[in-house]
Amino acid sequence: MAGTTLTVYSERFAIKGGFAISRGSKTEAEVVTVKLTQNGKTGWGECVPYPRYGESVPSTLESIKALEADIANGLTRQALQSRLPPGAARNGLDCAMWDLDAKARRA
């Protein structure tokens, strides 16, 4: 994926009626959106950082942004597996890579 540009940001979405589980409830979801663009095609991925696993939106954004140069230089999905631990950041970036690859194969 050499020459790929990265865009990553957070968004908040209201949850109609709320969402509740035994650990608590919430009325909105904060999602990290990842976009990878190459040759006029854009792959999208999303992830939700969970504080329960030591994740936050700022730390997830930072983890993904730290790989920007590697992404521009052709970071592969396989290499990503050893660059980031399992979690929200790796998931969002991996999904964007899959989506971009699928769109690139569709002519």
CATH number at 9 reads 3.30.390.10
Share of the chain above pLDDT 90, in %: 84
What is the 3-state composition of the chain as percent helix, strand, coil, each rounded to the nearest 5? Answer: 40, 40, 20
Model pLDDT, residue 13: 93
pLDDT digits (tens, 9 = 90+) for 62-106: 999 999 999 999 999 999 999 999 999 999 999 999 999 999 998
Mean of pLDDT over the chain:
94
Q: Which amino acid is at 79?
A: A
The model carries a pTM of 0.90
Radius of gyration of the chain (CA): 15
Structural domain count, the chain: 1
Is pLDDT above 90 for 24?
A: no
Is the Cα torsion angle 87, 71, 65, 25 positive or negative in sign?
negative
Which range of residues forms the domain containing residue 77?
5-105
Is pLDDT above 90 for 2?
A: no
